[in-house]
Structures are given as C-alpha cells and as structure tokens.
Structure 1
C-alpha cells in the first residue's frame, strides 16, 4: 500500500463495511487497524471457498433451482447496498464466499475495495471492475447502481450455462463485445432451460440501463419469486420515479394512470410489494410520513440523515395529500422497462384507448412545450429531453439546431381534433423512445 489512492480506497472500503453492517449476506466487519505500512481489516471467517470454485466443481454450471438459491442471496445483498446508496462495482463469482463447505451454506459478499457511495441522481464516470463483468454504461463513463445488476446478469448466465456471455482474447476485445455483441441463448443448454430463466437473464443483460431490472425487481421476477417465498426488499427506484411523477404535468399523470391500468398480475406484483413495504394507513393510502418511516426502518449508517432529508424534500408534494395504490402504480411504474417487453405495443395501445376516454383533451403546441420537470439532472420539456440531451437522442426525436422544437411537437398533436396523438402519448409517457412504434393513423 504505497500510493495515496490505494490508501484512500481501503479507507473508503472500511467506511462502507462499517456503515453497511447487519445484512446476512454481507461479510461481517469487526474492526480495522492501521500502522505506518498497512491497514488491517478484521472480518468474519468464511471457510467455504469462492462461488467460482463451486461453479467449477459442478462442471461449470448449476441446475435452475440451485442457480435461483444463489441468485436470491446475491440480489438481496445488492438491493440492500443500493438502498443504502452504495454501488459495489466489482461483482463477480470470486467476490462471493460461502461460510462453510456445506452445500447449503450461506453466501457472503466481500471485497468492497472498488465500491463507492452514490446519490440517487448521481452518475459515476471512472472505469473500474473486472472486464468480463463490466456494464456497457461503465465503458461509456456514465453509470450508477444499474451497473451492478448487469454484473449479476453475467453471473446468472455463467451459473446456468457454464460459459461467459462476452468473451475475447484481449481486454479491449471483451469491451467491444460488451458494447456491441448480444449474448447467445441459442446454444445448449439454453433451449432446454425454462423460458422464465432465459427472460430473467435477458432482462438483467439489457444494454440500456433504463430497461434493466433493479435488484429488488429481479427478486419479483416470475423465475425467482416462486422459489421459497422470496421477500422483495424496498427499492430505491420507487422514490426516483415518484419524484418524477409528482413534478410531472397533469397530462402526463393521466397518461401514466392509463398505462398502469394495463399492467398484468406479474407486473403488479412488484408494485404491490413496494406499496406494502411503505405500510399504508388503514384507509389504504400513503403519505410523506409513511415514506419517512419506511426509509428510517431500512436505514443503516450508510444512509445519513441528510440523505433521508434529501428524499423527503423531493417528495414534498406528499406532505399535504395522500396517495392510494392506483396512483402509486402510476407513479412507480417503469415505462422504459415496459418498453423492453415484447407486449409493449399492446400495453401502449390499450393505455392510449383508456387515455382517450379518461384523460385526453385538446392541447396547443405552446402548452405541450411548456411542460417541464427535472429528472436525473436533465430538464424535460413535454417530457422529452430538450436540454442537456445526448446527441443521439436529439437526432432520434428529429431535433437539431435547424429543426425548431415546435416542428417536432406538431406531430404529437392529432390534427383532426387538437388532442394528443398516439405518438405524442408515447413520448409523453417516457420522453426519448429507443424503440419504434408506428404512428397512430
């Protein structure tokens, strides 16, 4: 330990381990000591070896049920870390240890040397981690907790088929594969595995972090949730989504309410679990006090009081009113994730029909352009990026210095009656769309 950066890294690791204490799948931290030459970290003894060794000893792959048992433990501890505002950044089989040699022994996450604290709306930009497990957005130098979920997806792929989803002889070759290639689900054993297992891995390995499941959402996936009554933990994502919803225009809220009415039983499961964790009042509603209590109940030292205050400030609109489950579904659903599903167009079309009956109204371009809110550091007008946009997004919307905003928004309004068109409805739901949907006739 000779450099200032190395010393800073290990001190941050100690700080994070000390702050995160208490989760059953996190290696127990006892104490740390420092002299002129070294920092000594005293942790629980795990004698069962690495997850990687178990994979190799099984001939390279697990059965679906055995893989589920491992995944549940990994997802639980990572969801816990993310709620506390910690991103691991180096999740791989070598960084999970079994407590004993017993086949059913508990799994523990270790090695937080590259981990860091991250605020809900913060983006990190340093490239860290192990090449085979690094997420595309890490290579693009703009990422958050979603990068950990990608790494879990790589682990799940390895557990189920015994090979890596992205491979090359050099590190630069691996990075190119991560950015450009799609993992294969055509070769054995994938065709013989359940469709739910394949869907689970695909949704963790989505290159668009907005469409990727969170760790808590992954625990509510059909492949996982049927295994031993898995409990879904509180998800940090719902607070970000509620913040965006509360700052949205009334028209967008109506659009989201229409979309929420098209959700299937499986899609509602996660939202029901999250709503229950907020411990609604006897009348079935939640307020700012419910959110505050839920955060305090789940907080460790990693989630400082100031951070809870940050959450509460962003949800201030709930101080004077209550939210029932139906509105919560509209506020906390993830449009980009729904867009990644095969049935997305059906969802959107059904939602638009509901919106036509319950929320659509004549609107002028000036009003549509005036809607604005700030999400993740971006200003949304009409709920599409018109400020601080990525170049690719501006071209996708048809925006460029030579194309006025009104020229684009003009297509959002139906010429026959001045109401929002299907295209405008979809754009209003989630801003920039990376998946083409035919315009309404």
Structure 2
C-alpha cells in the first residue's frame, strides 16, 4: 500500500528487557550500533540511537558514521560527530536537524527517549498516542529522595521550560491524571502503572519505585511540581539553549530558594559520607560574599550528587 505509514522492523537480534536491566553483548550492524553497545553496557536507549541513524540516512542519503572497515566504523561511532554542514542539511528545517541531533547524542542520559521523540515538534501528530515513559518514574523517584535545596533548584529550572519542552511532560501528566483536576496522587500513579506498564516493567522494580513515592499518600502533586520532578537535567544540558536555561533558573533560584548555608550543612543535605573531604570538594559551591549557593554549585546541585560522583570529580 503506497499510502501506508512507513515502518522499519527488524526483530532478528531483539530481546525483551526490563527497565532496570542492562545488556552487554555487542550485536547489530556496525553503522547503526550505539556507542554504549560498544562499551558493553546498554539498554533501550540504544534503539533510539539506531532510529537516529535511520532518520539521518533518510534525510540526506548518507550514513552519519562511515569508514572502510568495521573497526573504523566503531571508532567513528565513539569519537566522530555526524556532519550537518553538507547539503542537503543547510536547506532542511531546524526542527529536523534538532530531532536527529537529539537522537544521536553519544550520552544516553542526554538522548531523547522514544516517547519524547514522538512529542518532538518535527514529527508530533495528534493522531499518535504517546506511550508512558519509564524515564519519568526514574526521575520522580530521584526527586522525591532529593533534599529541599535540590527540589527548589529543580523548581526554578522547570519554570524556564519552553512550550515545546513542556509538551511531552503534559502528555505524561495526562496519563497519570484520570480525573483531570490538575493534580495526581499515589493511587493515580499506581493505576497508571498497572494500566500502561509492559510485562517487563511489571517484573522490574515497580514496587520499589512506588515505595519511594509514599509521601504522596498524604498529599497530591500538581503539574508545576510534576515538571520539576520529571524534567531531565541531562537532556536539557544537551540543548543549545542550556546556558540560557541555567542562568534564568539561577536568577529565579536567587529570588525564591537560595539561602546562606555552611559547607557542613550542605554536605549533610547532600547525604555525603564522612569520608568525603567536604571542604575541599564543596568550597566552590558557596559564594564567599554571602554564604549562598554559587552558580557553579547550583548547576552541580541540579545534577544530583553522590559520594561516588564527587570522588570522580576530585
């Protein structure tokens, strides 16, 4: 049927995976393989990369990563950036280029999910039902376990989101909000998970996730807080507008959430272990003039902090 929607299907090397499961076998055609597959630690984000490769080829007729040998292709996938300067790219829309770039981000944390791709301005269609995005639950879990200071920082960042960036969050909130009253509860989330979750999701750590949201037993979450809880800092950081987002968010944080804090109190808020040399690690996070969080500290706080990540940074 010439009028049917184009579909690309290849289940030859497919497998069922749980949301918290990682694979380590190097499989797939070299041109389409994601960087994390070559690092032997990957999950469903690798499929999104492959979609990005296909979209790149469909738009310009050439492969984003090319070499004469398989090992050369792998090196290109790991090190090279796809070209967007040669024809026909200059004549294509900025939305088309943004779509492909966000699928071909080498960092899987910054790459769009499949649900987010369906919400992208270049291809979004009112006839397409956006599926529930498991990333939303991971982000909400991290938010609920965050300190009050990090929650305030995330709220400030969420207020800088554009209409297009809010679109996917609105779609996800609608899946969790059956009564359309502007708020969601723990019961709403449980019901939505059971209704929309795949078998793999149900077999994974769903109960562990729900336990992390127990605070919502006693209150409801509105859309404004949901945006703070469900936004991905890593994905925003991959955008060209990230610096503008971060600066605007910091200005809001200065007015609404920033406060004087000593290093030991900040370390306690971050849940750092006593073995971390907090004064050496965190001294740049606090302004010496008034003892409040600096812009550097604000950005690092947005990403969330662990003793492991601080140890790597030293």
TM-score calculated relative to the size of structure 2: 0.89
More helix by share: 2
Contact persistence 1:412–1:425 (CA under 8 A): yes
Which is worse superposed, 241-250 or 352-361?
352-361
Residue 180 of structure 1 and its aligned partner are, at CA, apart by 0.6
Partner-residue secondary structure (3-state), 1:436: helix
Residue 358 of structure 1 and its aligned partner are, at CA, apart by 0.9
Structure 1 portions without partners, runs of 5+:
1-101, 370-395
Contact persistence 1:212–1:337 (CA under 8 A): yes
Q: Deviations over 1:315-342 (max 9, x none)?
A: 3332332110000000001111111111
> Residue 265 of structure 2 aligns with which residue?
367
Instruction: Kindly indicate whether structure 1 or structure 2 has the higher relative contact order, using CA contacts under 8 Å at least 6 residues apart.
Output: 2
Residue 300 of structure 1 and its aligned partner are, at CA, apart by 4.2
Partner-residue secondary structure (3-state), 1:177: helix
Contact persistence 1:422–1:440 (CA under 8 A): no
Residue 172 of structure 1 and its aligned partner are, at CA, apart by 0.5
Q: What is the root-mean-square deviation in Å for CA atoms of aligned residues?
A: 4.3
Partner-residue secondary structure (3-state), 2:7: strand
2: CA distance, partners of 1:435 / 1:269: 34
Distance verdict in 2 for CA 1:309–1:431, change over 3 Å: closer
Q: Deviations over 1:61-88 (max 9, x none)?
A: xxxxxxxxxxxxxxxxxxxxxxxxxxxx
> Residue 199 of structure 1 aligns with which residue?
98
> Residue 435 of structure 1 aligns with which residue?
308
Distance verdict in 2 for CA 1:436–1:304, change over 3 Å: closer
Distance verdict in 2 for CA 1:400–1:290, change over 3 Å: closer
Q: Deviations over 1:336-358 (max 9, x none)?
A: 11111111111111111111111
Distance verdict in 2 for CA 1:249–1:296, change over 3 Å: same
Contact persistence 1:146–1:209 (CA under 8 A): yes
Partner-residue secondary structure (3-state), 1:148: helix
Distance verdict in 2 for CA 1:167–1:242, change over 3 Å: same
Q: Deviations over 1:8-66 (max 9, x none)?
A: xxxxxxxxxxxxxxxxxxxxxxxxxxxxxxxxxxxxxxxxxxxxxxxxxxxxxxxxxxx
Residue 286 of structure 1 and its aligned partner are, at CA, apart by 0.5
1: CA distance, partners of 2:160 / 2:311: 19
Partner-residue secondary structure (3-state), 2:290: coil
Contact persistence 2:18–2:203 (CA under 8 A): no
Distance verdict in 2 for CA 1:117–1:169, change over 3 Å: same
Contact persistence 1:196–1:222 (CA under 8 A): yes
> Residue 419 of structure 1 aligns with which residue?
292
Q: Deviations over 1:356-394 (max 9, x none)?
A: 11111111211222xxxxxxxxxxxxxxxxxxxxxxxxx
Partner-residue secondary structure (3-state), 2:123: helix
Contact persistence 1:399–1:408 (CA under 8 A): no
1: CA distance, partners of 2:178 / 2:137: 15
Distance verdict in 2 for CA 1:352–1:282, change over 3 Å: same
Which is worse superposed, 108-117 or 133-142?
108-117
Distance verdict in 2 for CA 1:366–1:337, change over 3 Å: same
1: CA distance, partners of 2:254 / 2:197: 42
Distance verdict in 2 for CA 1:266–1:436, change over 3 Å: farther
Distance verdict in 2 for CA 1:418–1:300, change over 3 Å: closer
1: CA distance, partners of 2:39 / 2:281: 28
Which is worse superposed, 126-135 or 229-238?
229-238
Contact persistence 1:150–1:205 (CA under 8 A): yes
Residue 427 of structure 1 and its aligned partner are, at CA, apart by 0.3
Residue 193 of structure 1 and its aligned partner are, at CA, apart by 1.0
Q: Deviations over 1:140-176 (max 9, x none)?
A: 1222211111000001001111111011111100000
Partner-residue secondary structure (3-state), 1:223: coil
Residue 288 of structure 1 and its aligned partner are, at CA, apart by 1.3
Distance verdict in 2 for CA 1:223–1:127, change over 3 Å: same
Q: 1:356 aligns with which of 233, 254, 257?
A: 254
Which is worse superposed, 107-116 or 415-424?
107-116
Residue 119 of structure 1 and its aligned partner are, at CA, apart by 3.3
Partner-residue secondary structure (3-state), 1:107: coil
Q: Deviations over 1:82-134 (max 9, x none)?
A: xxxxxxxxxxxxxxxxxxxx112355564434333433333322222211111
Partner-residue secondary structure (3-state), 1:222: coil
Contact persistence 1:345–1:437 (CA under 8 A): no
Partner-residue secondary structure (3-state), 1:302: helix
Q: 2:18 aligns with which of 112, 119, 135?
A: 119
- The 5-angstrom pairing of residues 16-27 of structure 1 reads none
Structure 2 portions without partners, runs of 5+:
none
Matched residue count: 313
2: CA distance, partners of 1:176 / 1:203: 20
2: CA distance, partners of 1:435 / 1:355: 26
1: CA distance, partners of 2:253 / 2:196: 37
Residue 201 of structure 1 and its aligned partner are, at CA, apart by 0.3
Q: 1:301 aligns with which of 177, 199, 209?
A: 199
More strand by share: 1
